[in-house]
Each structure stands twice: as C-alpha cells, then as structure tokens.
Amino acid sequence: MSKIAVVATSTGSLDYLDLKYKNLKILRLKILAGDKEYSDFVELTAEKFYSMLNNDKSLVPSSSLPSIGELLEMLEEIEKEGYEEVIVTTISSQLSGSYQVCVMAQKQYEGKLKIHIVDSLNAGPAEGYLSLEALRLIKEGKSAKEVVKFLENLIPNKKHYLLVDNLRLFIANGRLSGASGFIGSVLKIKPILKVTLEGKIESFEKVRTHKKALVKIIEILLADLAKMDDFIVIYETSNDLDSIETVKSEIEKVYPKHKSFQAPITPVIGCHTGTGAIGIALYNLKK
C-alpha cells in the first residue's frame, strides 16, 4: 500500500481546525494589504485580518499565489518523508490560479512522487472538506486512485451560498461573475451569492435588509436539505458569529444533531468577502 500525503491550499481554512494528521501539508497563498505581504494564517489570522478591515474602511486587500518553487520544495520534502503519492486539493480554478500553479509544478517535478491534483470547484471550508475526506479515506486504507474518484463524485453534489455585507471587495478584486446588476445598488442591498457547479461565484438573490436576507437563506437551505437523505452542513464566517449561529440553530430545529463543522473564512478569501460575511455549504452524501 502506497504511503499517501495530502496537500491543501490555505484557502480551505484547515488551519483553524484541530487536526492531527501528519500527512497533511498546507500550501499558503499570500495577502497583500497596504504595502505589506502576509502568509495566510501564519502571518495573518482571520481575527487580525478582519480587525484590520474594520479599522480601515478604505483598505482593498488582494491575494497572490504561492510560487511554483514553493510547491516544488514542498513536494521534495514530502518525498523525503517517505511518501510515494500525494493528493493536492485546490481552491476552484475559476476563482484562483492556484490549480494552474499545481499543474505546472506537477509537470516540472523531477522526483518519483506520484502527484494527483483535484480542483475542488469550491472555496473556503467547503473546499477544505474535500481534504478532510481525502485524509479520512487514506486512513481507512483506500488507494490514491480510489480517493480521487470519490472526491470527483462528491464535488458536483454541493450547494454553497454566501451572504455578504456588501460587494465592495468582490467587485474591486473582480471575483464576482455577472456583478453589473448589483453595482448600482451595492450599498442598498444584502446580496446572497452562490458558488456554481462550475466553481464560479455568481449573484443569487437581492434582499433589502440583513434580517430578511437571513430568513431567505435559511428558507433556501431548508428547501435544499429536504431533497437530501444524508448530508453535511459546513458553516463559515468572516466575523459575524451571531448570524451564523442564527442559521445553524434554525437548521438544527429541523435536523437535530446534523453532521456539520464550522471554520472562519481565512484572510485570502476574506480579501473578497470582507467583514460581516457568512457562508453555508451543503454536500449531499448519497451513496
């Protein structure tokens, strides 16, 4: 049986979970804020980042990719540790160039490590969930080929919604498809966005107040969950714990003790969502 490692991009928020896997490595993206560059989580955590945004309303942070050299060095270290294969899970190729960096590194790598790359077509903790499933399956003794097939079958079985306070950073950083309909009223609405099956972020609903937006997103989620026999709910937020708890409690009323986990939206993603954002992802775990 091959010894298999997992490489996840830092956008998956796995740093905020209490994980003990020795075979998990994190490839870190960077945050550019003002005249400084930070390594995601290592040099700038979610708590510090959102405090920074709250203190400077004019700040427009951006993100940058890890270099191919960084990934090649990581792959060399993984091989030195005795691993024969590695599964790399990335943020959606429609939202970041991280997937392309991994593909280029795969082509340039000169070692014996067998590299498998999976485009999550997602972002945030919902992306990180794929890494967690890969780690679980590896622990159960599944082959890398079996793990990749499982992930590829899981990826389309998702729903992912974001409720953001405003679209200022999404528009500034060009990460929202079809934003033109929102721009004129960006300060007047509380937009609900969705991550599409193709891995893009698009507008979904326009709601006038935050309270009404919470009611609407709960309604959408419960309608989706009613069509699933087995599922996991993934909760994420920049710094609006009250709103995410409201959503969670309403889902808990209908589905007590449902499978779930929660993590902060890490700064690289927060460069686009800004403060006051929540996200809820659903994976249909049908057999």
- Once rounded to an integer, what is the mean pLDDT over residues 204-218? 92
- Once rounded to an integer, what is the mean pLDDT over residues 144-171? 91
Write down the pLDDT at residue 184: 41
Write down the pLDDT at residue 186: 53
Write down the pLDDT at residue 181: 46
Write down the pLDDT at residue 169: 78
Cα(153)–Cα(253) distance, rounded to whole angstroms? 30
Write down the pLDDT at residue 189: 76
Cα(182)–Cα(198) distance, rounded to whole angstroms? 21
Q: Do 259 and 140 touch, CB atoms closer than 8 A?
A: no
Predicted confidence band of residue 185 (pLDDT cuts 50, 70, 90):
very low
Q: How far is CA 45 from CA 14, 42, 97, in A?
A: 12, 7, 22
In this model, does residue 248 exceed pLDDT 70?
Answer: yes
In 14-124, alpha helices (H)? 46-55, 68-80, 98-108
Predicted confidence band of residue 187 (pLDDT cuts 50, 70, 90):
low
DSSP 177: B
Least confident stretch, 157-171, 173-187, 216-230: 173-187
- Once rounded to an integer, what is the mean pLDDT over residues 20-30? 97
Write down the pLDDT at residue 66: 93
- Report which residue type is found at 262: Q
Write down the pLDDT at residue 173: 61
- Once rounded to an integer, what is the mean pLDDT over residues 139-167? 95
Least confident stretch, 187-191, 248-252, 268-272: 187-191
Q: pLDDT higher for 43 or 272? A: 43
Write down the pLDDT at residue 188: 64
In this model, does residue 287 exceed pLDDT 70?
Answer: no
**SS3 track for 34-54:** CCEEEEECCCECHHHHHHHHH
Domains of the chain: residue spans and CATH: 4-29+65-154 (3.40.50.10170), 158-284 (3.30.1180.10)
Q: Do 49 and 29 touch, CB atoms closer than 8 A?
A: no
Q: What share of the chain in percent tops pLDDT 90? A: 85
Summarize pLDDT for 58-102 with one digit per residue, the tens.
899 999 999 999 999 999 999 999 999 999 999 999 999 999 999
Q: pLDDT higher for 170 or 32? A: 32
Summarize pLDDT for 113-143 with one digit per residue, the tens.
999 999 999 999 999 999 999 999 999 999 9
Least confident stretch, 47-56, 113-122, 189-198: 189-198
Residue at token pair 């955590």:
45
**Residue of 120, 115, 104, 131 whose CA lies nearest to 78:** 115
Mean pLDDT, the chain, integer: 93
Q: Do 158 and 285 touch, CB atoms closer than 8 A?
A: no
Write down the pLDDT at residue 19: 96
- CA neighbours within 13 Å on the CB side: how many for 167? 26
